[in-house]
């Protein structure tokens, strides 16, 4: 078997890992990956997909032996032999099942990364104090406490107060979409106007973002005032 045939064989065998790596990259906010990092992730996820199929096969065969009459055992996976023996034919059904397994694994891995399972466990046991976020911007906006927000635009002497609807992935391009927004003069506190939505794109040096209050009563009162203001504006 020449090099081109071997490369095609490896690509087909690790196709489930490539699918899983692409899904993970689409679901997780991350820094730009090198081709080597992507390839390594694809290989690891591909191996995990076939190992999960092997574990499932072993479990089903073990359970099948305990029933009456015993079930016929599931066929052996050919993946591991196909890597080293060119005479072993590729099983397309096995590759398709591995793609399904890889898709499930990618969802679990993405959930673990997005919810910082590893970092939360490490912080709980005092192993590490790292948050796992890309930067402080992501740490702030991915916090469970984020909700009501004050954005002080120092350069324009304005304060935007409202609920966070959406935000950019990182501080490289800071953008925030607020709803039920009240706009004040920063220097005097004068209410200038209210608007249902406000899209803000700014330079980090010109803006101060204040965390929402921890008192739920304050949040409820602000939401009530915003709702009353919206009803009054609709009546007009």
Q: What is the pLDDT of residues 56-97, one digit of tens each?
A: 988 888 888 777 677 777 888 888 788 777 777 888 888 899
Kindly state whether residues 66 and 172 are assigned to the same domain. Answer: no
Mean per-residue pLDDT of the chain: 80
pLDDT of 234 over the 50 cut: no
Tell me if 133 sits within 8 A of 118, measured CB to CB.
no
* Per-residue b or e along 202-225, where b marks 16 or more CB atoms closer than 10 Å to that residue's CB: beeeebebeebeeeeeeeeebeee
- If asked whether residues 180 and 77 sit together in one domain, one would say no
Q: Across residues 204-213, what is the average pLDDT?
A: 75
Predicted local confidence at residue 160, as pLDDT: 92
Query: Which alpha helices (H) appear in 68-194, and where do they start and end?
Result: 79-82, 92-114, 117-124, 136-141
Q: Within a domain: residue 11?
A: yes
CATH assignment of the domain containing 186: 2.30.30.100
**pLDDT beyond 50 at 232:** no
Is 31 or 3 the better-scoring residue by pLDDT? 31
For the cut 50, the answer to whether the pLDDT of residue 141 exceeds it is yes
Q: Is 146 helix (H, G, I), strand (E, B) or coil?
A: coil
Model pLDDT, residue 215: 53
Torsion of CA 137, 138, 144, 148, to 10 degrees: 40
* Whole-model pTM over 0.85: no
Comparing 26 with 3, the larger pLDDT belongs to 26
- Alpha carbon distance 131, 118 (integer Å): 10
What number of CA atoms fall less than 13 Å from residue 194's CA on the CB side? 17
Structural domain count, the chain: 2
- The share of the chain scoring above pLDDT 70, in percent, equals 84
3-class state of residue 132 by DSSP: coil
Domain annotation covers residue 127: no
Q: Indicate the SS3 state at residue 176.
A: strand
Looking at the chain, the whole-number percentage of residues with pLDDT higher than 90 is 26
Decide which of 153 and 130 is more confident. Answer: 153
Residue 8 has pLDDT above 90, yes or no: no
91 and 161 share one domain: no
State the residue range of the domain holding 105: 3-119
pLDDT band at 116 (very low <50, low <70, confident <90, very high): confident
pLDDT reported for residue 206: 78
Domain end, chosen from 94, 119, 144, is at: 119
pLDDT band at 235 (very low <50, low <70, confident <90, very high): very low
Q: Residue 126 domain-assigned?
A: no
Instruction: HSE, CB side, 13 Å, CA atoms: give it for residue 99.
Output: 13
Distances (CA, A) of 182 to 119, 147, 204: 36, 15, 21
Q: Are residues 156 and 99 part of one domain? A: no
Looking at the fold, whether 65 and 153 belong to one and the same domain comes out as no
End-to-end CA distance of the chain: 79
CA distance to 28, 162, 209, 218, per residue, from 137 (Å): 16, 18, 10, 24
Residue 101 placed within a domain: yes
Whether residue 9 is found in the same domain as residue 109: yes
In a domain, 154, yes or no: yes
Asked if residue 106 and residue 30 are part of one domain, the reply reads yes
pLDDT of 5 reads 61
For residues 101 and 207, state if they share a domain: no
Q: Which of 15-24, 139-148, 227-236 has the highest mean pLDDT?
A: 15-24
Lowest mean pLDDT among 20-24, 30-34, 132-136, 158-162: 132-136
86 and 182 inside one domain: no
Query: What pLDDT does 209 receive?
Result: 83
Residues 66 and 35 in one domain: yes
Residue 128 domain-assigned? no
pLDDT of 204 > 80? The answer is no
Residues 194 and 98 in one domain: no
Is the same domain home to 142 and 230? Answer: yes
């Amino acid at each position: 078997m020449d090099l081109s045939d071997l490369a095609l064989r490896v690509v087909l065998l690790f196709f489930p890992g490539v699918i899983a790596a692409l899904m993970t990259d689409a679901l997780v906010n991350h820094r730009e990956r090198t081709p080597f990092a992507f390839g390594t992730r694809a290989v690891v996820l591909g191996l995990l997909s076939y190992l999960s199929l092997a574990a499932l096969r072993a479990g089903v065969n073990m359970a099948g032996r305990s029933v009456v009459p015993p079930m016929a055992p599931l066929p052996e996976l050919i993946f591991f032999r196909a890597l080293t023996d060119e005479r072993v034919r590729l099983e397309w059904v096995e590759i398709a099942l591995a793609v399904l397994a890889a898709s499930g694994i990618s969802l679990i891995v993405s959930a673990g990364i997005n919810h910082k399972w590893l970092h939360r466990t490490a912080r709980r046991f005092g192993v590490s104090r790292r948050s796992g976020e890309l930067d402080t911007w992501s740490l702030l906006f991915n916090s469970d406490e984020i909700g009501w927000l004050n954005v002080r635009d120092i350069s324009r002497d304005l304060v935007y107060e409202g609920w966070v609807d959406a935000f950019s992935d990182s501080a490289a391009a800071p953008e925030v979409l607020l709803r039920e927004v009240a706009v004040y003069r920063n220097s005097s506190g004068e209410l200038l106007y209210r608007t249902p939505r406000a899209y803000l794109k700014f330079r980090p040096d010109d803006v101060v973002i204040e965390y929402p209050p921890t008192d739920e009563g304050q949040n409820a009162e602000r939401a009530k005032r915003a709702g009353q203001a919206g009803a009054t504006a609709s009546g007009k």
